Homo-oligomer: A and B are copies of this chain.
Amino acid sequence: MSEINILGEAYKKAKYKVPGHGPRNVQVLKEALINIDGEMESEMYGKGKVIDDFQDKIALYLGKEAAVFFPSGTMAQQIALRIWCDQKGIKKVAYHPLSHLEIHEEDGLKELHHIEPILLADKDTVIQLEDVLKLEEEIACLLLELPQREIGGQLPDYKTLEDISAFCKEKGIKLHLDGARLFEILPYYQKSAAEVCALFDSVYVSFYKGIGGIAGAILAGDKAFTEESKVWKRRHGGDLISLYPYIISADYYFDQRLSNMNQYYEEAKELAQFFNQCYRVSTKPLEPVSNMFHVHFEAPKDEMEVILATIYEETGIGLTGYVREVTKTTSYYEISIGDLYAQLPKEDLKKVFQLLDEKMKSIKTL
């Protein structure tokens, strides 16, 4: 058995889990369907009450003219960038070097849409106004991911967002929001979704991160934009005869969890403090600005797997099922707070961090 499995197995067996809303199992779908009348009709290829109602609801919430439900954010975002590129007649966009489009989509944007991305900012920092001002090439669209997931979920100042938005407007650059975790950052910014979205021409939001649905995304913007996005949705093979299993569950968990975002954010800050009190452990960002952050260890991946697995066995509390290597002597993992955190026995959780601190101190000098 590999060491990855030692940690994975120990995590699976742990009575309590720190991150998330609970297992991604069929019960998630069953629960969302309990109060749905079996006679509710499916939409048909993007048309019908179940999809119309949800699209209207989210458009209103985001303060946009219209919204379209997509099976995935990958599809929605490529399409948004394609529309803005076609409109301007320039096949160039800009985004962060660790954007989902750059590292998780098998180069779909390039292979399917022949759009060239310009990577803005150093990969360890968020995009600042200066990065945008320095742009030498003309671009059709700038994509900002809020928060920047791959660096622990960092955010620029709200003023920076306003400045970038104003600059783009002036220069005729469309501004697109990768809002996969938009709901999760509103407590930090102390803004409504509509206030944030007003800075952007187009917005994508996801329903299976903080919301905890099964899959699916919304792309929102003005009506001309969303109508064109439907044509591309058909081209991509995303205009399914029935998307209602995703829509119904997105709607159900949106209603259930949207008001919890502040709680997740506060809990993330508390948990990050616990980590930062441990020797050779730090979080990125040091103080979370959403429900997520990264935990960095000054210890090799293999060693951390053994340490963590032992802690789970002693306390019954699981922190993570994996650890990733950063360098030969450092490692990290990502955490997102959901419903489970509030259910943790706090005394046992304190024990977790006592043990973690002790074990990190007992590591032989690297």
Measuring CB to CB, which residues of chain A are less than 8 angstroms from any residue of chain B? Answer: 23-30, 33, 36-42, 44, 70-76, 78, 105-108, 111-113, 208, 214-215, 231-232, 234-246, 248
Contacts and interface: CB of A to CB of B under 8 A. Distances in A.
Contacts of A29: 33, 244-245
A13 B106 CA distance: 49
A238 B71 contact: yes
A205 to B, nearest CB: 15
Contact of A24 (B232, B236, B242): B242
22 contacts: A23-B39, A25-B40, A25-B42, A26-B38, A33-B33, A71-B238, A72-B238, A75-B236, A75-B237, A76-B237, A106-B231, A106-B232, A108-B235, A108-B236, A111-B235, A112-B113, A112-B235, A214-B242, A214-B244, A215-B240, A238-B238, A245-B245
A240 B38 contact: no
A226 to B, nearest CB: 15
- 10 nearest CB pairs, A to B: A75-B237, A27-B38, A108-B235, A245-B245, A74-B237, A24-B42, A72-B237, A215-B240, A106-B234, A26-B40
A42 to B, nearest CB: 4
A225 to B, nearest CB: 16
Contacts of A23: 39, 41
A78 B38 contact: no
